Chains A and B, each alone.
Chain A
Amino acid sequence: MSDPANLVTILALLASVFFFVAGSVGLVRMPDTLTRIHSLTKADNIALGFIVVALLPQVGSVADAAKIVAVWVLVQVSSGAVAQLIGEVALAEQAMTPSGLDQPDDGRSADA
């Protein structure tokens, strides 16, 4: 492997670690489910993307590269959908709590 390829890998891995740490800190420190989901999915998806970028210069064949990209696409699709699902459940639970019942207008505008 040539030096520029290794440089790309190292830089992308460092960027990935940064975003994974940021996402994990967000998961622990954010106040409620929706903001936690937000930090987890946004930051971790970027971090995973950087890992894919880091691995691509290191693979030996196009088939291996395609597999790594396929893994990335699948994780994007499923994590995005699951985040939406958890978000819907969190909103429904919020609406059931007394504070949610106090402000029915907020619930209606969020639906629209």
Chain B
Amino acid sequence: MNVAFDAILCVLVVLAAIRVVATTDLRAAVSSFLAYGMLLALVWVRLESVDIALTEVAVGSGLTTIVILRAISRMPLAPSSSTGSSPTRSAQVAVGVMCAMVTLGLSGVLLTLPDPAPSIAPYVAQNMPATALGNPIAGVLMVFRAMDTVLETVVVLLALIGVWAMVPQHRLAEVPGPLAPGRAPEPVVFLARALVPFGLLFGAYQVWAGADVPGGKFQGAAVLASMGLLLMMAGVITAPAATNVRLRALLLVGPILFLAVGVAGWSLAGAFLGYPAGLEKPVIIAVEIASTISIALALVMLVLGPPAGSASS
């Protein structure tokens, strides 16, 4: 029964992936991409990787799809008719061949993996008590591989700087373009009223519970970010400009606190990113909350895109 379910799931994932690249209708490609992400999340659940499934749904298919939708809404409806923009036949074949080679290479690596696969999971399990955390994923992210997590929070900022760099300096004071043109439709206003209180609670819960069960700052931040975007769609709050000092401070608070804890670790715990003994849990929670604020705001600004509107007051 489970094998049958997994087999159907795999076929559906591949079909969705093929439809993303095979369709010439941009909107159909985006909806297929969304379906592909949701199916992929089910695959992660089947692999018992609930943390990754949550991230895939929230960031990989959720927010990314909005970014792509906003991008194609600015593109001409029929890209093939515009002059000289469509790639030549040989370029298409070359891209196809290279993608196929990547797929074949990955399949080859997967099939030649030793069985059982090399794993450091036992060491993680052995040392989990020292972290005061219940979720091994959180242990790896915040303690054993904290360096990677610092870099991840910085990468989100770099991406945002990249988006802001798409407009000249003097236009940074302008607010990002609206999420939807015109007045907000009634259903959106209703959703903003009914869903946002619950969503804020759930996002905060995901961050808090991430220490012991699947969840954490990226997943929670994505939920909080979508609630912010919903409020903007409904016209309840307005998007800040990239030059807003408070916005910039909050964007930086997570990475700076994380790095400060890391540097303090040299004197307090004898290693970069070492946590002071006995204070692991409170320090980790403080870093998690600060990072959540920064990531959520960065995700909102990433979805909103480069400044494109009128100058903000």
Contact = CB atoms under 8 A, between A and B. Distances in A.
Contacts of A78: 191, 195
A30 interface: no
Interface of A: 74, 77-78, 81-82, 84-85, 88
A82 B187 contact: yes
A74 B196 CA distance: 11
Contacts of B256: none
Contact of A84 (B186, B194, B195, B198): B186
B185 interface: yes
Interface residues of B, number: 9
B19 to A, nearest CB: 16
B186 A74 contact: no
Nearest to A92: B185
B195 A85 contact: no
Most B C-beta atoms less than 10 A away, residue of A81, A85, A88: A81
Nearest to B189: A81
B213 to A, nearest CB: 13
Interface string B168-196: 00000000000000000111101100110
A81 B198 contact: no
Contacts of A74: 195, 198
17 contacts: A77-B191, A77-B194, A78-B191, A78-B195, A81-B187, A81-B188, A81-B190, A81-B191, A81-B194, A82-B187, A82-B191, A84-B185, A84-B186, A84-B187, A85-B185, A85-B187, A88-B185
B188 A85 contact: yes
B196 to A, nearest CB: 11
Interface string B239-258: 00000000000000000000
